[in-house]
Amino acid sequence: MCARTLLITKRVKLHFFVSSLAPEIFSEGLKESTLSSHNLAPTDDIAVLRMSAQGPELTSMRWGLVTSGQRSAPKQVLRRPLINARQDKLATWRDWTTPFQQRRCLVITSGWIEWTMETPGDASSQAQTTLFAASRPPEPKRQAWWFRPAKGELLALAGFWNPWDPPGDPGRDSAALITVAASPALSRWHDRSPVVLPQSAWGAYLNPDTVDPQALLRSPGPGEIEVQPLAAGIGSVRNKAPSVLQPEGEVILAM
């Protein structure tokens, strides 16, 4: 689930979005290209806010966690990254436990993409011309959906990160999102969803001294997310143009 995300904003808007937690950014390594990413796939750069001893850091990280044992792994291993970590495995999977306890972060995004198989409406009235046409069931269609904030432009998703420092790109780190069981508002599309953190939870989530950060992890509730059906172009990871967000139907408020 959540194998595609996007970020479409300006740097000043991103700074304003995080200003309640980070009125001053101590360090910024955010690539300009990350701010105009209409179709982010695993291994692409995502925008991350994390806390250091010096203060808030806003940076770009590889989407796909590189564990300590993989830092020197061959490229073919790194092409199958961990992009989503299940909340119910955080306490038991060794490669996730330490990063979640010590290196939590917010992934700033304009939403995420899911796909469903949708059956077209009853076409029997259009298929009366031949017995063959009338008896053939409609073909399911793979439908893309853009999950985005019902209010505002940006979301803060719960994640965690690991250092990486790949050859030729020193200082580059990696991150994964956390997923939970989908709320009733979102379960019509998928049984899991990313964790969308409200501003009131940001400080506690990023604080490594928080006793029970898992208590902050939840799926968005009714009215928090709107869902826009998209045309098929979003399906290709090579398609990065703004046209990939071409609507294909009415916006649905997830209730």
pTM of the model: 0.90
Give 242's pLDDT tier (boundaries 50, 70, 90): very high
**Higher pLDDT, residue 148 or 79:** 148
Determine the distance from the C-alpha atom of residue 113 to the mean position of all C-alpha atoms in its chain, rounded to a whole number.
8
- Output 40-45 pairs: Cβ under 8 A, ≥24 positions apart: 40/4, 40/5, 40/6, 40/7, 41/3, 41/4, 41/237, 42/3, 42/81, 42/83, 43/78, 43/79, 43/81
Full set of structural domains in the chain with CATH: 4-120+135-253 (3.90.1680.10)
Write the CA distances from 220 to 166, 198, 217, 253, integer angstroms.
35, 9, 10, 12
Chain segment 177-210, per-residue pLDDT in tens? 999 999 999 999 999 999 999 999 999 999 999 9
Mean pLDDT over each residue of the chain, to the nearest integer: 87
Chain segment 203-231, per-residue pLDDT in tens? 999 999 999 999 999 999 999 999 999 99
Instruction: Return the structure tokens found at 128.
Output: 């009366």
Chain segment 109-127, per-residue pLDDT in tens? 999 999 999 877 543 333 3
Q: Which residues, including other chains, have CB under 8 Å from residue 200's CB and lie 6 or more apart?
A: none
| pLDDT score of 130 | 45
| pLDDT score of 59 | 93
Chain segment 47-60, per-residue pLDDT in tens? 999 998 888 899 99
